[in-house]
Chains A and B, each alone.
Chain A
Amino acid sequence: MKTFPIGGVHPSENKLSCGKAIEVLPLPDVVAIPLAQHIGAPAVAKVAKGDKVLTGQLIAEAGSFMSANIHSPVSGTVTAVDLVPNGQGIRQMMITIKREGDEWAEGIDRSETLVRECSLPASEIVAKIKDAGIVGMGGATFPTHVKLSVPPGKKAEALIINGVECEPYLTSDHRTMLEHGEELLVGVTILMKALDVKSAYVGIENNKPDAIAHLRKLAAQYPGVEIVPLTVKYPQGGEKQLIAAIMGRQVPPPPALPIDVGAVVCNASTTYAVYRAVQKNMPLIERVVTITGKGLKEPKNLLARMGTPIETLIAAAGGLPEDAGKVINGGPMMGRAMVNLASPVTKGCSGITVMSGRDAVRREASQCIKCAKCVAACPMGLEPYLLSKMTQKKGWETLEAQMITSCIECGCCQSTCPAYLPLLDWIRLGKQTVMGIIRQRAAAAAPKK
Chain B
Amino acid sequence: MANKLLVAPSPHVQTSQSTARIMRDVVIALVPALIISTVFFGWSVLCVTALSVASCVVFEYLIQRFLVGGKSTVGNWSAVVTGVLLAFNLPASIPWWIVVIGAFVAIAIAKMTFGGLGKNPFNPALVGRVFLLIAYPVQMTSFPAPVNEAFDAWSGATPLAAVKHGAAAGMFDVQDLLLGNMPGSLGEVAALALLVGFAYLLWRRVITWHIPVTILATMAVFAFVVALSRGAGEAALWQFPLFHILAGGAMLGAIFMATDYSTSPMTVRGGVIFAVGIGLITMCIRLWGAYPEGMSFAILIMNSTVPLINKYVKPKRFGVK
Residues of chain A touching chain B, judged by Cβ–Cβ distance below 8 Å, are: 5-6, 11-12, 88, 168, 240, 244, 250-253, 256, 320, 322, 324-328, 330, 332-339, 341, 353, 355, 357, 359-363, 366-373, 375-376, 378-383, 385-386, 403, 406, 409-412, 414-420, 424-425, 428
Task: Find out whether the CB atom of A335 lies under 8 angstroms from the CB atom of B10.
Answer: yes
Contact A324 B261 (CB under 8 A): no
Any A CB within 8 A of the CB of B230: no
- On chain B, the residues within 8 Å of A419 by CB distance are 18-19, 118
User: Of B5, B14, B78, B315, which contacts A375 at CB under 8 A?
Assistant: B315
Contacts of A373 in B (CB 8 A): 15
B14 cross-chain contacts in A, Cβ below 8 A: 362-363, 414-415, 417, 420
A326 touches B5 (CB 8 A): yes
Q: Which of A326, A327, A406 contacts B319 (CB 8 A)?
A: A406
Cα separation A194 to B229 with both chains bound (whole Å): 68
Q: B317 near A382 (CB under 8 angstroms)?
A: yes
Q: Interface 1/0s, chain B 1-39, versus A by CB < 8 A?
A: 101011111111111011101100000000000000000
Contact A332–B320 (Cβ < 8 Å): no
CB atoms of B319 and A368 under 8 A apart: no
Interchain CA distance A58-B18 in the complex, whole Å: 52
| Measured CA separation A304–B132 after assembly (Å) | 72
Other A-B contacts than A363-B18, A381-B315, A411-B10, 14 sampled, CB-CB below 8 A, are: A88-B7, A324-B3, A325-B6, A326-B5, A362-B8, A367-B117, A371-B261, A386-B266, A403-B317, A406-B317, A406-B319, A414-B11, A415-B11, A418-B15
- Name the residue of chain A whose CB is nearest to the CB of B11: A411
State which of A357, A366, A375, A424 has its C-beta within 8 Å of the C-beta of B10: A424
The answer to whether B15 and A415 have CB atoms under 8 Å apart is yes
Q: Which residues of A contact B265 (CB under 8 A)?
A: 372
CB distance from B68 to the nearest CB of A (A): 12
How many chain B residues sit at the interface, stated as a range, is: 35 or more
B266/A250 in contact, CB under 8 A:
no
Enumerate 23 A-B pairs (CB-CB under 8 Å) in ascending A order.
A6-B318, A88-B7, A240-B319, A252-B320, A320-B3, A327-B5, A328-B10, A333-B10, A333-B11, A338-B7, A339-B7, A360-B12, A366-B76, A369-B19, A369-B78, A369-B261, A373-B15, A375-B267, A381-B316, A381-B317, A382-B315, A418-B18, A419-B118
Q: Is there an interface contact between B76 and A375, defined as CB atoms closer than 8 Å?
A: no
A412 nearest CB across to chain B (Å): 8
Q: How far is the CB of B93 from chain A (nearest CB, A)?
A: 34
Q: Do A372 and B266 have beta carbons less than 8 Å apart? A: yes
Known: A253-B317, A339-B7, A341-B1. A370 touches B12 (CB 8 A): no
Smallest CB gap from B208: residue in A: A376
The verdict on B314 contacting chain A, using a C-beta distance below 8 Å, is yes
Asked if B268 is at the interface of the complex by the 8 Å CB criterion, the answer is yes
> B266–A369 contact, CB under 8 A?
no
User: What is the chain A residue whose CB lies nearest that of B265?
Assistant: A372
- The residues of A that contact B17 with a CB separation of less than 8 Å are 418
- A355, B317: Cβ atoms closer than 8 Å: no
A253 to B5, CA, bound (A): 37
Majority secondary structure of chain B interface residues (helix, strand, loop or mixed): loop
Check B10–A336 contact: CB distance below 8 A: yes
* Chain A residue nearest in CB terms to B271: A372
Please tell me if the beta carbons of B13 and A250 are within 8 angstroms of each other in the complex.
Answer: no
Q: A324-B3, A385-B266 are in contact. Are A425 and B9 (CB under 8 A)?
A: yes
For B11, give its contact among A12, A334, A357, A360 (CB under 8 Å).
A334
A85 to chain B minimum Cβ distance, whole angstroms, is 13
Which residues of B have CB within 8 Å of A320? 3
* B116 CB–A CB distance under 8 Å: yes
For B44, the chain A residues whose CB sits under 8 A away are: none
**Residue numbers in A under 8 Å from B7 (CB-CB):** 88, 326, 337-339
B12 with A355: CB separation less than 8 A: yes
Q: Please, how many angstroms separate the alpha-carbon atoms of A136 and B116 in the complex?
A: 47
Answer whether A383 and B11 are a contact pair too, CB < 8 Å, given A326-B5, A367-B118, A370-B261: no
Let me know if B266 and A383 touch, CB within 8 A: yes
Q: Are A338 and B5 in contact (CB under 8 A)?
A: yes
Q: Which residues of A contact B11 (CB under 8 A)?
A: 332-334, 410-412, 414-415, 424
User: Is B262 engaged at the interface, CB distance under 8 Å to the other chain?
Assistant: yes
Q: Name the residue on B nearest A357 (C-beta).
A: B6
Distance, CA A417 to CA B14, complexed state (A): 7
Residues of A contacting B22 in the complex (Cβ-Cβ under 8 angstroms): 369, 371, 418
Q: In the bound complex, how far is the Cα of B57 from the Cα of A316, in angstroms?
A: 55
| A367 cross-chain contacts in B, Cβ below 8 A | 116-119
Which 3 A-B pairs rank lowest in CB-CB distance, beginning with the nearest? A411-B11, A381-B317, A332-B12
Contacts of A428 in B (CB 8 A): 9
User: Of the candidates A250, A335, A418, which one forms a contact with B21 in the assembled complex, judged by CB atoms under 8 Å apart?
Assistant: A418
| Residue from A6, A240, A336, A372 in contact with B316 in the complex, judged by beta carbons closer than 8 Å | A6
With CB as the reference atom, state the residue of chain A lying closest to B314: A383
Residues in chain A near residue B15, CB distance under 8 A: 373, 415-418
Distance of A253 Cα from B266 Cα, bound (Å): 22
Residues of B near A420 (CB, < 8 A) are: 14, 18
Point out the residues of chain A lying under 8 angstroms from B12, CB to CB. Answer: 326, 328, 332-333, 335, 337, 353, 355, 360
Most buried by A among B21, B316, B318: B318
Closest to B316 in A: A381
A369 to B318, CA, bound (A): 25
Residues of A within 8 A of B19 (CB): 366, 369, 418-419
- Which of chain A's residues have a CB closer than 8 A to the CB of B9? 336-337, 424-425, 428
A253-B319, A370-B262 known; A325 and B5 CB under 8 Å?
Answer: yes
* A379 / chain B contacts, CB cutoff of 8 Å: 318
